[in-house]
Amino acid sequence: MIGQCGITKQDCDGKDVLEIGYLLQKAYWHNGYATEAAVACKEYAFNTLNIDEVYSIIRDNNIASQNVAKRNGMTPKGMLAKHYRGVDMPHIIFLLRKRKNN
């Protein structure tokens, strides 16, 4: 096993959202695996679950994960602070809405 990727329910400023998250062992970074898995989760969410939007909530200093979200078509839509062990950690909220066919 090299890591994990999936869709989870997360709190985003008081709203429950579906988030695409990914976490790989460092030995497997920079091989495209996170992007491939995140794109598959997006397609599953939109095409199988018929969800209208997905999020990724990423630490402001995690540039590699932000780049994965961007390659997945997501754009930054805001910021929030998550509280870990008594510390506020800034996160960027990435969002992608399903395209509607006209």
Domains, the chain, with CATH or none: 3-97 (3.40.630.30)
The reported pLDDT for the residue numbered 59 is 96
Per-residue pLDDT at 102 exceeds 90: no
Per-residue pLDDT at 9 exceeds 50: yes
Give the integer Cα–Cα distance in Å for 72 and 41. Answer: 10
The reported pLDDT for the residue numbered 101 is 63
pLDDT in tens, 57-97: 999 999 999 999 999 999 999 999 988 889 999 999 999 99
* CA 83 from centre of chain: 18
Asked if 20 and 7 count as a contact pair (C-beta separation under 8 A), the reply is: yes
Which tokens is 9 given? 């329910």
Give the integer Cα–Cα distance in Å for 80 and 95. Answer: 13
What number is the average pLDDT over the span 47-64? 96
